[in-house]
Structure 1
Amino acid sequence: MMQSDTLLHVANVSTLLVCMVLKFPQIFVLLRAKSTTGLSIKSLVLELIGYVVFVTYQTYYDYPPPTYLEYPILIAQDVVLLLLILLYGGRLQDSLLYSVVFVVGWRLLTVEKWIIDFAMNLCTFISAASKFAQLQCLWRSKDAGQVSALTWALATYTCTTRIYTTVATTGDMQVLVRFIAMTLLNLWVLLSVLYYRRHGCSPIKED
């Protein structure tokens, strides 16, 4: 029992620590290149929606904070990343519209119980759509561009640890299915990035 508790603690802490810097490699690559080549803004927006729904669902049902504490951190990092993509894509004026939509949407999620339950049912599909949007961007350009392989590797790790923590704590099947799907899709994106870095033409190489 003690060993199981220790493993759960390690999984929770390591996930939180990794998520604190998960988007940093991607942010640094963008800042250095000042180019959004290979990055899908649709993917990022869908990912943000998925994060917002997921953390709202967890807090609404009073799930243990260690099982979702990284999501506010990920949301903050994604917001920074979105602003950078809008900036370097010449669309910074759209940031106000995105802000209003996200804030209003976040508030509406908890107006009624059925809304947050329905949103959570869609959450896996929304998050999966975000990964497919990034994959489509890679397939179309055949260039990893400024996509950070390290960020996707870290994302794969955190979803893997969350499979374990979900089984060990809440056992929520909706959450578990989501993490299994995200692990597989994150890995798919990672392998695609590595493939196009090897076979494509990428102007910026990561260390």
Structure 2
Amino acid sequence: MFWCGLEATRLDRLVIKYSVPCLKIVLSKGLGIGIILGSVLVKLPQILKLMGAKSAEGLSFQSVLLELLAITGTMAYSIANKFPFSAWGEALFLTLQTVTIGFLILHYGGRTSKGLLFLVLYFALLLPLLSGVTPMSVVTIMQAFNMPAIIIGRLIQVATNYSNGHTGQLSAVSVFLLFAGSLARIFTSLQETGDSLMALTYVISSTCNGIITLQVLYYWNSSPEHKTETKKKTQ
């Protein structure tokens, strides 16, 4: 009986020893795939809202541009380091959607020609970044630059929201999904890449996305039309 109990204890320890890491891997892979699938549509509500309103009021092009640079840096850094697609795949889809939003902001701002130039220049720069000809040192610097780019970009949007007193055409659905995705990426980046620079980037991104999420909730019942009516009543 004693030996049976001892063997059972050892077996339990072995099960715990190997099942916990396996569970983390399965959870990380599942979250990663879920984030990638969600990213295919995460900014679609924002794009549709812009197209429906035919206006980009409340959205900062500078903020979108900095966000695009950060996403591109993460994608290039991940490819250069041969990280699994499940650890960064959403960057590919977010890039395409963010480029579209940038173009729409310029287009609805009456600068369509600049919007087209923006598309041409971006994809011309993207090709050498993803082809492997860019030195690893440059790609690493881009990833490190992500942190100030994210902070500055999000603060510009935060300041724009505060100045306007509303979030304009900013999509609440897209904001909430981006916040949830960046939170989940903290765990998956640590689990799948072990890269502290990647994880820190997502910590900062989650913090900044969280601030904008709070603004969306705070200004929930505010709108450009409501603010205009309020101004008229006070005049």
Same fold (TM over 0.5): yes
Select the residue among 46, 49, 55 that pairs with 2:69: 49
Partner SS state of residue 90, structure 1? coil
Q: How does 1:179-198 map to 2 (within 5 A)?
A: 179-198=202-221
What is the match of residue 95 of structure 2? 75
1:66 aligned residue (73, 86, 89): 86
Write the letter of the residue equivalent to 1:123: N
Question: Is 154-163 or 126-135 further displaced after alignment?
Answer: 126-135
Matched residues, number: 203
1:51-200 alignment to 2 at 5 Å? Answer: 51-107=71-127, 109=129, 110-198=133-221, 200=222
The TM-score normalised by the length of structure 1 is 0.91
Unaligned runs of 5+ in 2: 1-18, 227-235
Secondary structure of the structure 1 residue equivalent to 2:213:
helix
Q: Deviations over 1:125-147 (max 9, x none)?
A: 11222111111111111121111
Shift of 1:178: 0.5
Higher RCO (CA < 8 A, seq sep 6+): 1
- Aligned residue for 2:52? 32
CA drift of 1:25 comes to: 1.1
CA contact (8 A) 1:26 1:147 kept: yes
Which residue is 1:201 aligned to?
Answer: 223
- Segments of structure 1 that go 5 or more residues without pairing to the other structure are none
- Which residue identity lines up with residue 141 of structure 1 in the other structure? N
Q: Distance in 2 between matches of 1:104 and 1:116?
A: 16
CA distance in 1, matches of 2:148, 2:201: 8
Higher radius of gyration, 1 or 2: 2
TM-score, structure 2 length as denominator?
0.80
Shift of residue 103 of structure 1?
3.4
Secondary structure of 1:193 counterpart = helix
In structure 2, C-alpha distance between the alignment counterparts of 1:79 and 1:186, rounded to whole Å: 19
Amino acid across the alignment from 2:99 = V
Measured in 2, the distance between the counterparts of 1:184 and 1:43 equals 16
Q: CA RMSD in A?
A: 1.7
Distance 1:63 1:38 in 2: 36
Question: How high is the sequence identity, in percent, across the aligned residues?
Answer: 26
* SS of aligned partner of 1:197: coil
SS of 2:83's partner is coil
Q: Distance in 2 between matches of 1:81 and 1:193?
A: 19
Greater Cα offset, 158-167 or 102-111:
102-111
Q: CA deviation at 1:203?
A: 4.2
Q: Secondary structure at the match of 2:193?
A: coil
